Structure 1
Amino acid sequence: MYGAVAALEEFSLTIRRGEFLTILGPSGSGKTTALMLLAGFVAPSKGDILIAGESVAAVPSYRRDQGIVFQSYALFPHLTVRRNLEFPLEMRGMAFTERTRHVDRMLERVHLRDFGGRMPVQLSGGQQQRVALARALIADPPFLLLDEPLGALDRNLREQMQGELKSLHREFGKTTICVTHDQEEALTLSDRIVVMRAGRIEQIGTPEDLYDRPRTRFVANFLGEANILENPQFAIESDATQPSGTVAMLRPERIRIVAPTAQNRNGAQHCQFVTGIVDDMIYAGPLRKYNVRVGGSMLIVREHVASGQQIYQCGDEVRLGWLRSAVRFVAE
C-alpha cells in the first residue's frame, strides 16, 4: 500500500527454480512494485514472501542473497570494470587471489576479457549491460532480478542483448525474474510471462499460450496486435463454440490476403472468407501491413514480404481468408 492506494492486490505467484519469468505490464500495473518487494526495497503491507520455503518479508535487501541489474546498470563510475566485478566478492570477504580468479573467469564468460582496465564511461551500452550482468552473477546468487534491463539500448543492440541474456541464462541456470513493459522482450526471453493490469495478475502462461490463447481482450491487445471482431457485419465461423461474455479475436498474421478472383487452396472447407477494400498499406521492411475495411469493421492483415508477391493499394478489392481454428474468444 502507498497511503490509501494498493499498488498490488491478490498477487500470488510461485516461481520455479531455474526458470526465466517475466512480469509484464503497462505503466502503473504494479510490476515494478512486485520487483521492489522481491528485492527487499519495499516491505509488504500484508502477506508474505518465501524463498526456498523461508520467509524473507522482514529481511532487508542487503541481507538477501540475490543479484540485481537495474535499467541504468548502476555501475560504479569511479571504478574500473575489474573493480566493479571485484566489489561484491570483496564485501563477502573473499581473498584477493580468489577474487582475481573469479573476475578473470567472469570477464571471459561475458566476452570482456580485454576490458577489465576500462572505466564504465569508456564502454558502449551493450558492454555496460554485460558488466552489470556479470557483477550480479559473480557472487553466484540463487536468483537474479532484472529491472527493465534492456530499456536503455537501441533496437538493434537490444535484440543482440536478448540473445546474450538467453545464453547466460542457459549457462548459469539462475532463477531469473525480469520486469519489463516490452512485449517483444518478454516473448523472446521468457519461460513464463505474468501479465499485470491495475495491480492484479491478468494471466500467467508460456509466451505461446499468452500470444495464441489470451483469455482477455487486454492480454490480446497488449501482446501484439489483435483484431477484435466486435459486432462485425458478417457471421463468425469457428471450430469452437463462443462462450457467453466473450468476443472473437484473430491475429493479423493468421489472415491471408488475395485477389477476389484467386482460387481457393486445398483445405478451403476449413476456412472462412470475406471480401473487403484496402484502406491503407504500410511497408515495414520484412513485413507488409494492410488495413482492410470489411463492412463496418477494419481488419489488420500482416504478411511477410516475398519476391513475386502481389501488392495491393488503397481502394483495391481483396479477399481475406483464415482458418476457422485460428479464431479465439476473449473475455471483456
Structure 2
Amino acid sequence: MERSLIPAQIEFRSLTKMYGPVAAVKDLSLTISRGEFLTILGPSGSGKTTTLMLLAGFVAPTQGDIMIAGRSVGAVPSYRRDQGIVFQSYALFPHLTVRRNLEFPLEMRGVKADERATRVDRILERVHLADLGGRMPSQLSGGQQQRVALARALIAEPPILLLDEPLGALDRNLREQMQGEIKNLHREFGITTVCVTHDQDEALTLSDRIVVMRAGRIEQIDAPEALYDRPATRFVAKFLGEANIFESPRFKLESDAAQPPGSVAMIRPERICVAAPEAPRPPDAHQRQCVMGTVDEMIYSGPLRKYRVRVAGSALVVREHVASGQQIFQRDDQVRLEWLRSDLRFVA
C-alpha cells in the first residue's frame, strides 16, 4: 500500500468469515471515518476479535471485502497494511531494550539512524518513559510495558491503529490511568483507531462510536452516551451496564411515550431515586412515577451504593452516589422509589 500519514477511512463490505459451518462474522457492513475512535464491544463468541483480525490481515474473509482509503486490501498481507497494532500481551521483544523495541518498526521501513533516534526520543518523551529507554521489558511495570507497546505502534505514524484488549492485563487503577493516556494520544495523533474490548467502561470512556456485536452481527452502533441512554434492544441494554427490564410488571407503568409493539420497558438503576416513604416529594413529583417497595439487599462499593428492592413481585436495582448525610436503608426497610416518566425507555 502507498505510504500515507493521513488517517484512513475503513469500510467493511458484506464481510463474512466462516470456520467450517460456523459463521464467526456474518454479512458485516460498516464504515469507520477518518480519525475516528471506534470500539467493537461484545461477549465472547460475538465476532469482535475476528473482525479485528480480518482488518489486520491475520485471517482472510470468506466473503466480502475491506476497503482502506478507498482501496481493497483483501489480497494485501498484514505486513503491508501499514497499521499499528497493540495486543493484550504487549508482544514486546524480550531480548531488546525499550529503545531497540521502538527502533525496530522504523528499521523495517528503512528510516535512517539519525531520524530513528529523533523519533524514539520524541515518542519516549510523549509516553513519559524518557529515562527508561535502556531498560529491558522485564524491568518495566505492566503500565510501562503498555506505554512501550503503544509507542511502538505509533512511532511509524500509521494511518490506522488497532487495539486488541489493550488494557485487559492491567489492574483497575492502572487501567483507568491508561485510558486517559490512550485518549490523549488519539487526540494528539488523530489516527483512525479500532479497539476491541469486552470492558463496557473502557468502551464508554474511549470511543467516538461503539459497535455492539452479537453472534457475528452488529446489534447496534451509536455514540457512547446515546447507546447507553437509548439502547435499541434488550441485549444492548443488559450488556452495556445494568438495566431494569419490566417484563410483566404487576403495577401500571407510566410513560411520556407510547410503548411500541413487541417491546419491553427499561430503566437504568441510577435513574431511580430511593427515599423513605414519609420523605417529602420533589418539586417535579407530577412528572414522576412513584412505587413502594421493600429492600432485599444493600451493597456498598465505595463511591456507589446499590439496592435491590422488591416492588409488587418484581426486583428492581437502584444505584446512587454516596454522599454525606444520606439516609441508608437496610434489608426489609420500606422505601419509596421514584423516577421521571421520561426516563423510561422501550427496547425490542
* C-alpha distance after superposition, 1:173-202 (max 9, x if no partner): 110000000000000000000000000000
2:245 to 228, 237, 240: 228
**Matching of residues 155-304 of structure 1 within 5 Å:** 155-304=172-321
Partner of 1:106: 123
1:125 to 142, 157, 163: 142
1:89 to 75, 84, 106: 106
TM-fit CA distance, 1:245: 0.4
Partner of 1:47: 64
* C-alpha distance after superposition, 1:136-184 (max 9, x if no partner): 0001100100000000000110000000000101111110000000000
Q: Which amino acid aligns with 1:242?
A: Q
Distance 2:66 2:305 in 1: 47
* DSSP 3-state at the match of 1:136: helix
* C-alpha distance after superposition, 1:10-37 (max 9, x if no partner): 2111001001000000000000000000
TM-fit CA distance, 1:3: 1.1
TM-fit CA distance, 1:312: 0.5
TM-fit CA distance, 1:263: 1.6
Unpaired stretches in structure 1, ≥5 consecutive residues: none
Unpaired stretches in structure 2, ≥5 consecutive residues: 1-17
* DSSP 3-state at the match of 2:105: helix
* DSSP 3-state at the match of 1:233: coil
Point out 4+ residue stretches in structure 1 off by more than 6 angstroms: none
Distance 1:105 1:227 in 2: 49
* C-alpha distance after superposition, 1:212-231 (max 9, x if no partner): 00000000000100000111
Partner of 1:58: 75
Partner of 2:341: 324
Distance 2:326 2:54 in 1: 52
Q: How many residues in Structure 1 have an aligned counterpart in Structure 2?
A: 331
* C-alpha distance after superposition, 1:80-132 (max 9, x if no partner): 00000000000111111111111111111111000000000000000000000
Partner of 2:43: 26
* DSSP 3-state at the match of 2:63: coil
TM-fit CA distance, 1:266: 0.7
* DSSP 3-state at the match of 1:113: coil
Distance 1:186 1:71 in 2: 15
Distance 1:227 1:218 in 2: 12
* DSSP 3-state at the match of 1:195: strand
Distance 1:260 1:321 in 2: 11
Q: Which amino acid aligns with 1:50?
A: M
Q: Structure 1 residue 67 and structure 2 residue 59: aligned?
A: no
Which has the larger share of strand? 2
Q: Which amino acid aligns with 1:311?
A: I
Partner of 1:77: 94
The alignment's TM-score, normalised by the length of structure 2, stands at 0.95
Distance 1:287 1:63 in 2: 48
Distance 2:280 2:27 in 1: 53
Q: Which amino acid aligns with 1:115?
A: L
The alignment's TM-score, normalised by the length of structure 1, stands at 0.99
* DSSP 3-state at the match of 2:297: strand
Distance 1:187 1:94 in 2: 37
Partner of 2:159: 142
Query: What's the Cα RMSD here?
Result: 0.5
Distance 2:309 2:115 in 1: 64
Distance 1:232 1:183 in 2: 28
Q: Percent identity?
A: 78
Q: Which amino acid aligns with 2:215?
A: A
